[in-house]
Structure 1
Amino acid sequence: MACERCGGMSIAAHFEGDRAWEYDGWKCLICGNITDPLIITNRDAQAHGAIEPMTSIGMRPARGAVSPGRHTRTARS
């Protein structure tokens, strides 16, 4: 498989964490770009207009984990 970022050679790879997650994907041997099923699904959804762009209105710089509730499309009143 060719890398989407640099065009280099990608190989099948298995990724795993602390029992919380594991998945199979592709990793480029040249630039290290990783592509997995979730990335492919999200890119496909964006290409078909299923996901609206997020806004940064009213947000402050992140200092650690950011709550998904902070990413909204509506303005505050």
Structure 2
Amino acid sequence: MTCERCNGLMVSEQICDLRGTSGDLSVDGYRCLLCGDVVDKTILANRRCSSETVEPPTVYSPPMPRLVAA
């Protein structure tokens, strides 16, 4: 598996959640050996949801008056 950030090697890792916010004390995930990016199933699901709902920004530039030298 390759990293989406830097195309580095991702290795399997047990990620500890000491606060216990996920319900488990540890989850299985992947960590990049080059940049340190951490990915697990929750992170991937959130990225999928956010990329589906984001609309491309519309560019609006107000009309500019033309200046003519006298």
TM-score normalized by structure 1? 0.57
CA RMSD, Structure 1 to Structure 2 (Å): 1.7
Instruction: Spell out the pairing of 1:31-46 with structure 2 (5 A cutoff).
Output: 31-46=35-50
The percentage of counterpart residues that share the same residue type is 34
Aligned to 1:5: 5
Amino acid paired to 2:42: L
Answer with 1 or 2: which has the greater Rg: 2
Equivalent of residue 30 in structure 1, options 9, 29, 34:
34
**Which ranges in structure 2 are unaligned for 5 or more consecutive residues?**
55-70
Taking CA–CA contacts closer than 8 Å with sequence separation of 6 or more, which of the two structures ends up with the larger relative contact order? Answer: 2
**Which ranges in structure 1 are unaligned for 5 or more consecutive residues?**
52-77
Number of residue pairs matched by the alignment: 50
TM-score normalized by structure 2? 0.62
